């Protein structure tokens, strides 16, 4: 499993903090069970947000031949070269 990026950690943490505060203020709960349910649901929401942040795409490096080798490659008889077809 790949490591989480800084964006995933930041978005997940901010979601947990703000959703916990919002749910506690809106529900006005004073019981321990209500607070525990809100905390668990905020953690689940933060995890969901962190997992849906797009991963950076890995860069694929194309292996290319050196310029002098590419210039010496023969062009088939019926094909037009991209260098001369301008």
Q: pLDDT tens across 43-79, in order?
A: 999 999 888 877 767 666 556 666 665 556 666 776 6
Q: Is the pLDDT of residue 26 over 90?
A: yes
User: Between residues 73 and 34, which one has the greater pLDDT?
Assistant: 34
Q: What is the DSSP string of 16-78?
A: HHHHHHHHHHHH---SHHHHHHHHHHHHHHHHHHHHHSPPPPPPPPPP---HHHHHTSPPPTT
Average pLDDT over every residue of 19-43: 93
State pTM to two decimals.
Answer: 0.59
Q: What is the pLDDT of residue 23?
A: 93
Percent of the chain with pLDDT over 70: 63
Average pLDDT over every residue of 30-55: 90
In the chain, where the domains are located? 1-50
């Amino acid at each position: 499993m790949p490591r989480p990026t800084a964006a995933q950690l930041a978005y997940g943490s901010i979601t947990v903090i703000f959703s916990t505060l919002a749910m506690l203020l809106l529900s006005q709960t004073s019981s321990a069970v209500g607070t525990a349910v809100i905390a668990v649901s905020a953690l689940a929401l933060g995890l969901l947000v962190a997992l849906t942040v797009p991963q950076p795409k890995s860069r694929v490096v194309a292996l290319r031949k050196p310029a002098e080798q590419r210039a010496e490659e023969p062009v088939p008889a019926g094909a037009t070269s991209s260098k001369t077809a301008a």
